[in-house]
Amino acid sequence: MKKREYLYYIINRTNKHNLDNISRTKAYQEFYLKHPEVKWALVASIVSRNAGWNMTDLYLPPYKNMLGNKELQNLFMTYERANWLIFSDAYPQLLAYELFKHGHSLVDILKELHVSDFMIHEWEIFRKTNNKERLMLALIINEQNVIQRPVITQPYFKRSVFFRLPYWLQNNLMLNAVLLPTRGGSLYGCYVHGFTNVTNRITLGKKLASQIFHPEVYSGLMDFIVTVEHTGSRRDYESLYDISLPKSPMLRLVYPIIDHQDSIRRDWFYLGGTKKKWFEPVAVEPKEIGGSFYLKRKVFYGYYHLKSLMQERTT
């Protein structure tokens, strides 16, 4: 197979799986099951599941009734754009690794795919050392930098999402979390805070990875992801717990496939470089946050119902 054929295969497969949150999540998961040495693929599949749950949360009564259609659309597009961008950058790397797994250099094909020089260097280190932890950290660092300028500091998203009250409330009240469900009845995970800061997101990724691969969590989490099909609705895991709040809809029932427009991507590595602390490992003990997470959601629902009642009395 010639280089042109490799590229055609990689680009076509990436486009096929980069349709929506459901297809991306499944692609990451299937890759990890075939190549468990690439630990980042499992982290990506779990984070992507959570992105889908955040998307369909926007159809729950508090969001639908307290936010305008434009605000809801902007929030959805923030999740969707970041989800799409990360996949469009990372999945070609995973496919290239799969093709060249048995000792061949990835440099030429990764350059053709416009992968950051940072990751080209890291894949070469992995090929020579088989350092799984370093590769996982490198991919966490890379993908959070990939979305920084096109999404986080992009003027439209900055003005329409990150400077608006809904984001401020989620950030300061810590209403958002990345959850790690297990079929054993525990909800592990980390709260999301300071999402606009790239170092904070990298640290979050490292904390999540530490919990995901912890012996106390890993087997129960894997049991969940291989037996529960991802629909984008929190009912995927809420059905395993005694949670009485309204259920969000399945993602493909409420959101269309988005036709993203790509642009020429400048290599983030040469725009800002790396920080030494990004490569410092973070080890945290598994933290069960299901109780506090759903307490916050119940308070949020209570506020919504109280506000609705007050509005009814004044009309």
Q: Is 246 left (phi over 0), alpha (psi -120 to 50) or beta?
A: beta
pLDDT at residue 207, rounded to an integer? 97
* Cβ-based burial of 123 (10 A; exposed 0-12, middle 13-18, buried ≥19): buried
Of the ranges 99-103, 224-228, 237-241, which is most confident? Answer: 224-228
Model confidence band, residue 177 (pLDDT cutoffs 50, 70, 90): very high
- Between residues 165 and 253, which one has the greater pLDDT? 253
pLDDT at residue 170, rounded to an integer? 64
pTM, 2 dp: 0.94
**Distance between CA atoms of 197 and 111, rounded to whole angstroms?**
28
User: Any idea which residue has 């060249």 for tokens?
Assistant: 100
Model confidence band, residue 105 (pLDDT cutoffs 50, 70, 90): confident
**Distance between CA atoms of 156 and 268, rounded to whole angstroms?**
20
Reference 262, options 84, 93, 111, 27; nearest CA is 84
Residue-wise pLDDT tens digits, 39-66: 999 999 999 999 999 999 999 998 888 8
* Mean pLDDT for all residues in the chain: 91
Residue-wise pLDDT tens digits, 228-265: 999 999 999 998 888 889 999 999 999 999 999 887 78
pLDDT score of 165 more than 80: no
pLDDT at residue 15, rounded to an integer? 96
Q: Does residue 214 contact residue 286 with C-beta atoms inside 8 Å?
A: yes
How confident is the model over 165-194, as a mean pLDDT? 81
pLDDT score of 147 more than 70: yes
